[in-house]
Amino acid sequence: MLISELSRETGVSKDTIRFYEKAGLLDATYKRGDNNYRQYDEEVVERLAFIRQGKALGFTLSEIKKAIDEWDTLSSQDKMQMTRIKIEEVDEKIRQLQEFRHHLVEKLKRLEVPG
């Protein structure tokens, strides 16, 4: 499939796909058709889904790239440990956001009191 089809299927913009290729998250050496356009396969669709999920879970692009590069060589224990650490980081961010939300709610209450 062409980059426009890949973009449409995955919801990832063409510019972002090109950026991921330059960053090494996607293999930029895909087959080229007679028209010299890159041809993407279903593996790229899966890779983009992995990248999107990783980002949604709070992984940085460098962490995602490292995971992609090393995933097949990691043991199940290492994969689980890496994921546990990220869950702890996400939980801490949630705690901080809840604390900040509480602060904002209290400030709003004080502002709503007349006088």
Which position has the higher pLDDT, 106 or 33? 106
74 in helix, strand or coil?
Answer: coil
Number of folded domains in the chain? Answer: 1
pLDDT score of 30: 65
CB neighbours of residue 79 within 10 Å: 13
Q: Which domain holds residue 39?
A: 3-112
pLDDT for 81-111, tens place per residue?
A: 988 998 898 899 999 999 999 999 999 999 9
CATH (domain of 87): 1.10.1660.10
* Residue 7, both tokens: 């973009």
